[in-house]
Amino acid sequence: MIRLAGRDDLDSIDVIERESFPLDRFARRNLRRMLAGGRTRFWLASRDGQAAGYAALCFRKGARIARLYSLAVRDGFQGSGLGSALIDTVLGAAGKAGCRAVRLEVRESNLPARKLYERSGFRLLSRHCSYYEDGETALRYERSVTAQDAYRQETDPL
């Protein structure tokens, strides 16, 4: 099940973030600030009562392009469709918010994530050398938000 997350979900999101990203991860204080602020929306995916993954989508005032800040599914829960379901959820929310597209950056070496994004309809926009602190290149992807996305439910039972 996927639901909107709030401040009380900080611990779960922080654990998923730390387990999923050895580098370039959000510090706990930044997650707390984003969960309390109005600009970034978080969704938490659970399975068998356990926090399994999350997605964070940032909406900038006046901008019609939302930015997927983070997407992560914990090791033991990967490969069962949670990543795709979280992407469907954020696309639905972006559509309802009137956005025309969702953008994201991903490490060039992150083949599982790139495959998932490409399968979900994201198209490569640009390549950014030395984008990450360890010098790795980022690929920027964009997915247009369709009318169909806008009708998706924010809480899809899995």
Applying CB under 6 A, which part among 2-10, 23-31, 71-79, 123-131 lies near ligand COA?
A: 71-79
Q: Shortest distance, CB of residue 118 to ligand COA, whole angstroms?
A: 8
Yes or no: say if 127 and 56 are a contact pair by the CB < 8 Å rule.
no
81 counts as binding ligand COA under rule CB under 6 A: yes
137 counts as binding ligand COA under rule CB under 6 A: no
Yes or no: say if 108 and 132 are a contact pair by the CB < 8 Å rule.
no
Member of 72, 90, 101, 102 binding ligand COA (CB under 6 A): 72
Give the distance from CA 4 to its chain's centroid. 12
CA distances from 138 to 30, 101, 108, 151 (A): 22, 19, 6, 31
Q: How many residues bind ligand COA (CB under 6 A)?
A: 19
Q: How far, in Å, CA of 38 to CA of 43, rounded?
A: 14
112 counts as binding ligand COA under rule CB under 6 A: yes
119 counts as binding ligand COA under rule CB under 6 A: yes
Give the distance from CA 7 to its chain's centroid. 17
CB-nearer residue toward ligand COA: 98 or 118: 118
